Amino acid sequence: MMKKDNHRGSVLQIVLIILCTICFFLTIYVSDLEQKFLIYKNIAIMERQKNYEVMLIHYYKKTLKDDILISDEFNISGHQFRYSVDIDVNSYIITTTFLHPYFNYDMVCEIDNESYQVLKLEYKEKK
């Protein structure tokens, strides 16, 4: 009779270890899925932001060729942009501030007065 009781206890321990192992791997799997979801969400935001940057530079160049570019602030799909234009001797220096809940930075774009080509493009993190 004693052997059957000990055997039942060891079977219960094995089942408990298997259940704990399954719970552990499920927890790791769910946390991995959560992190991947956040990564893909952030990548999508960064790609959209990059598209806005390209679109803004195109807008700056086109406006400088055809019209006068003055400082302005606007909002596209919940993304707020603010830019200021400084005129240097041979170029326009346009500082664009991107305001978003996930990031906040400045993009400084220098465009030539005559050829309207981008001479310099740099990013500055705001603290």
The pTM assigned to this predicted structure is 0.70
**What is the SS3 string spanning the chain?**
CHHHHHHHHHHHHHHHHHHHHHHHHHHHHHHHHHHHHHHHHHHHHHHHHHHHHHHHHHHHHHHHHHCCCCCEEEEECCEEEEEEEEECCCEEEEEEEEECCCCEEEEEEEEECCCCCEEEEEEEECC
The pair of structure tokens assigned to 127 is 């603290």
What b/e readout covers 51-90, taking b as 16+ CB neighbours within 10 angstroms?
A: ebbeebbeebbeebeeeebeeeeeeeeeeebebebeeeee
Question: Does 44 score more than 50 pLDDT?
Answer: yes
What whole-number percentage of the chain has pLDDT above 70? 92
Residue 88 pLDDT more than 70?
A: yes
Segments making up each domain of the chain, as ranges: 2-125
- Cα(35)–Cα(51) distance, integer angstroms: 24
Instruction: Give CA 90 to chain center in angstroms.
Output: 34
- The band of 1, judged by pLDDT with boundaries at 50, 70 and 90, is very low
Q: Which candidate, 104, 111, 107, 100, places its Cα nearest to that of 123?
A: 107
For the domain spanning 2-125, the CATH number is 3.30.1300
Which range among 21-30, 67-76, 87-96 has the greatest average pLDDT? 21-30
- pLDDT of 126 reads 76
- What is the pLDDT, as a whole number, of residue 81? 86
